[in-house]
Amino acid sequence: MPDQDYRRYLKPEVVSRLKGMELKARLVVEGFMAGLHKSPYHGFSVEFAEHRQYMPGDSIRDIDWKVYAKTDRYFVKEFEEETNLKAYLLIDTSASMGYTSDEKQRINKLEYSAYLAASLTFLMLKQRDSVGMVGFDEKIHTYIPPKSAAGHLHVLLEQMDKLKSSEKTNISDTLHQMAERIKRRGLIILMSDLFDDPQRVLAGLKHFRHRKHEIIVFHILDPRERDFSFPREAIFEDLETGERITTLPWQIKGAYQKELHGIFEHFSRECRMSNIDYHLIDTSVSYDRALLAYLNKRSRLY
């Protein structure tokens, strides 16, 4: 893959349309700069805030060696930063995210998530917010701490380009783990097909809300996963378990769509009750159109 291939995630025509957009936090966030987001603080501080456990991707320069000498464990120092908001992009890279029903015309769900994440990163960095990224399947395998420096965009784009779909998913454990690690209130953006136990996923999302974070969920599905319009007898394989079944799709289409609609309604209802912003996206809609529609809707509602 060419060294600069990651730049494909930010197409000039998309960037030009995003320049006039904003992603405002609806809830109070912890930050110090006057700007887009509500803050409980006044004034400015760069004082030491807290310790947190070291994670892959953290700079070793931030490790507190005195604490290591006492505990034999790695902890990093966190300071109050010059930013309106800390945002974390949580991207599901499980095997099911590699699915597309039309390889010639449509990117898979993981690639779609990367394009969407790149646009959001550009938008938030333009607002001088801090952006970080977490890639996960059964466990967290990629962690880029939030930063607001201009050069951070290239770091995140390069990491997005390296994401590959593999392994089973465990969304709920990742959500609980990150909810425990992220201490300061901020914005959590989850991109996933949510192919996991809905109750466990919702429990993980509510853990973030308990910690006073704001949450956006982009539920990303391929159009065939929604309409089940397969024209002939087919063998369906679970990309994460390898299990296969042979069936006549039109015979089970009605029951499948009813079950899926129930899942959509369940996520939508539970997220609404917990003040979580849930948004269903079909990959047949170009990511820039989907994002602009979402941002316009959000700006009207909040």
User: CA-CA distance, 188 to 213, in Å (whole number)?
Assistant: 7
Q: Nearest 5°: CA angle at 104, between 100 and 110? A: 35
pLDDT averaged over the chain?
84
Check whether 206 has a pLDDT greater than 90.
yes
What CATH number should be reported for the domain holding residue 105? Answer: 3.40.50.410
100 — pLDDT class (breaks 50, 70, 90): very high
Question: What is the predicted pLDDT for the residue at 165?
Answer: 92
Check whether 44 has a pLDDT greater than 70.
no
Boundary (domain end) residue, out of 33, 60, 79: 79
Does 157 lie in the same domain as 58?
no
4 — pLDDT class (breaks 50, 70, 90): low
For residues 77-85, average pLDDT:
59
Boundary (domain end) residue, out of 56, 79, 102: 79
User: CA-CA distance, 15 to 21, in Å (whole number)?
Assistant: 10
Long-range contacts of 235-239 (CB under 8 A, 24+ apart): 239/95, 239/96, 239/98, 239/99, 239/165
Boundary (domain end) residue, out of 79, 99, 134: 79
Question: What is the predicted pLDDT for the residue at 56?
Answer: 66
Check whether 191 has a pLDDT greater than 60.
yes
Q: What would the pLDDT profile of 120-147 be if each residue is shown by its tens digit? A: 999 999 888 899 999 999 999 999 999 9
Read off the tokens for 169.
């998913």
Q: Are 218 and 116 in contact (CB under 8 A)?
A: yes
Does 228 lie in the same domain as 204?
yes
Does 69 lie in the same domain as 19?
no
Q: Which residues contact 47 (CB under 8 A, 6 or more apart)?
A: 79, 80
Does 207 lie in the same domain as 69?
no
Question: What is the predicted pLDDT for the residue at 150?
Answer: 75
Does 171 lie in the same domain as 287?
yes
Give the dihedral sign, CA 73/79/83/84: positive
218 — pLDDT class (breaks 50, 70, 90): very high
Does 246 lie in the same domain as 171?
yes
Instruction: Identify the domain containing residue 66 by its residue range.
Output: 46-79
User: CA-CA distance, 3 to 96, in Å (whole number)?
Assistant: 27
Does 53 lie in the same domain as 88?
no
149 — pLDDT class (breaks 50, 70, 90): confident
Does 54 lie in the same domain as 142?
no
Does 108 lie in the same domain as 14?
yes
pTM, two decimal places: 0.80
Does 54 lie in the same domain as 30?
no
> How many structural domains are present in the chain?
2
Read off the tokens for 287.
């990511």
167: exposed, middle or buried (Cβ count in 10 Å: 0-12, 13-18, 19+): middle
Check whether 80 has a pLDDT greater than 70.
no
Q: Count CB-CB contacts under 10 A for residue 115.
A: 21
Q: Count CB-CB contacts under 10 A for residue 82.
A: 14
Q: Are 175 and 217 in contact (CB under 8 A)?
A: no
Of 302, 301, 289, 285, the residue nearest 18 (C-alpha)? 289
Does 71 lie in the same domain as 125?
no
Check whether 242 has a pLDDT greater than 90.
no
Does 153 lie in the same domain as 23?
yes
For residues 71-78, average pLDDT:
77
